[in-house]
Amino acid sequence: ENNLFCYLYLWNKTFINAHLIKNGLVDVDTDFDYKYKMKFLSLRNGLIKEV
């Protein structure tokens, strides 16, 4: 389990992780706590529209 987790941003401040979740291209890891976990879950569930 040597996984490296990171938050990715474009030069224009687009939050790539959130964009991928919002568009259903990836899922949210719920196995442990991390900074944006609640935001990612809300995006996945359609509770917030912003990215």
**pLDDT digits over 25-44, tens only?**
999 999 989 999 999 999 99
Whether the pLDDT of residue 51 is over 60: the answer is no
Question: What pTM was computed for the model?
Answer: 0.80
Percentage of residues in the chain having pLDDT higher than 70 = 92
- Our count of domains for the chain comes to 1
Query: How many whole angstroms separate alpha carbon 33 and alpha carbon 51?
Result: 20
3 lies in which domain range? 1-51
Confidence of residue 46 (pLDDT cuts 50, 70, 90): confident
How far is 24 from 32, CA to CA, in rounded Å?
Answer: 20
Total number of residues shown for the chain: 51
Say what the pLDDT of residue 8 is: 96
Question: In the predicted model, what is the mean pLDDT of the chain?
Answer: 90
